[in-house]
C-alpha cells in the first residue's frame, strides 16, 4: 500500500485548473470546487469530474441529471473557497444564469460547459461523474485561469506562449 501523504505530495506536483461544478438542487444552486476535471472526448463531447463519496452535494448532482462546469479565472480564488464551505453556504451571493440543461452557470466564470449527466462510476473513495457537453462558451476573453499546485492556489505568469519542446522518444 502506498504512503498516502507521500502519494498526495507527488500528485500535488501536477498543476491543475480549478472549476466550480454546479447543479440545480431542491432549494437552489448547489456546487463544489474541483480540480479533478478533464476532457474525455471531443466526439462525442464528454467531460468528467470526481466527487468524494461522502460529499453532501453528491446526490444533488445525480438527482438533477445535469451540471455546469464553471472554469474559474485567477481572480476567483474566493469563489473556489466558497464552493468548499458547508453545502448550505456555497452558492450564496453568487450570480447564475440557467444553461440549456437547466444547470446553474456562474455569470462571471471564465468559461462554462453545460452538461447532461451521462454516467457515474464508482472508483475508490470517489465517484467519477461523466457528462455529455450540451453547450459551452468562453465568457471572458483575455483572463487567465485559476490554477492549483502543491496544495495551494497559484497563477500562471507567462506573457508569451512557451515553445512546444517535445520530450525525446
Q: 112, 70 in Cβ contact below 8 A? A: yes
pLDDT attached to residue 169: 47
Q: Is the pLDDT of residue 30 over 70?
A: yes
**Architecture, CATH, for domain 18-149:** Roll (2.30)
> What is the C-alpha to C-alpha distance for residues 160 and 150, in angstroms, rounded to an integer?
24
d(CA 26, CA 146): 29
Residue 69: its pLDDT value, please?
Answer: 98
Give the C-alpha distances (Å, rounded to integers) separating 99 from 46, 64, 80, 102.
Answer: 17, 13, 20, 5
Read off φ and ψ for residue 7, nearest 5 degrees. Answer: -60, -45
pLDDT bin (cut points 50, 70, 90) of residue 86 is confident
Tell me which of 15-19, 65-69, 128-132 is least confident: 15-19
Q: What does pTM read for this prediction?
A: 0.87
What is the mean predicted confidence (pLDDT) over 20-43?
94
* pLDDT, averaged across the chain: 89
Which candidate, 83, 78, 37, 71, places its Cα nearest to that of 143? 71
Cα distance between the two ends of the chain: 31
- Domain residues of the chain, as ranges? 18-149
15 vs 19, 49, 68, CA distance in Å? 13, 16, 22
Cell (9 digits) for 37? 476535471
Cα 137 → chain centroid = 15
Report the distance separating Cα 76 and Cα 118, nearest Å.
28
**Per-residue pLDDT tens over the stretch 100-133:** 999 999 999 999 999 999 999 999 999 999 999 9
User: CA 100, CA 135: separation in Å to the nearest integer?
Assistant: 7
Q: Compute how many other C-beta atoms are within 10 angstroms of the C-beta atom of residue 144.
A: 13
Amino acid at each position: 500500500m502506498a504512503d498516502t501523504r507521500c502519494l498526495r505530495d507527488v500528485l500535488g506536483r501536477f498543476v491543475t485548473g480549478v472549476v466550480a461544478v454546479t447543479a440545480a438542487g431542491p432549494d437552489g444552486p448547489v456546487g463544489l470546487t474541483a480540480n479533478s476535471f478533464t476532457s474525455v472526448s471531443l466526439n462525442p463531447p464528454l467531460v468528467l469530474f470526481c466527487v468524494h463519496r461522502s460529499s453532501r452535494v453528491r446526490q444533488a448532482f445525480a438527482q438533477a441529471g445535469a451540471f455546469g462546469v464553471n472554469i474559474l479565472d485567477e481572480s476567483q480564488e474566493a469563489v473556489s473557497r466558497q464552493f468548499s464551505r458547508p453545502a448550505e453556504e456555497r452558492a450564496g451571493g453568487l450570480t447564475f444564469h440557467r444553461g440549456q440543461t437547466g444547470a446553474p452557470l456562474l455569470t462571471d466564470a471564465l468559461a462554462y460547459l453545460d452538461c447532461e449527466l451521462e454516467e457515474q462510476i464508482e472508483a475508490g473513495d470517489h465517484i467519477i461523474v461523466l457528462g455529455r457537453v450540451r453547450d459551452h462558451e468562453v465568457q471572458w476573453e483575455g483572463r487567465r485561469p485559476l490554477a492549483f499546485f502543491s496544495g495551494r492556489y497559484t497563477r500562471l505568469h507567462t506573457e508569451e506562449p512557451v515553445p512546444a519542446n517535445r520530450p525525446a522518444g
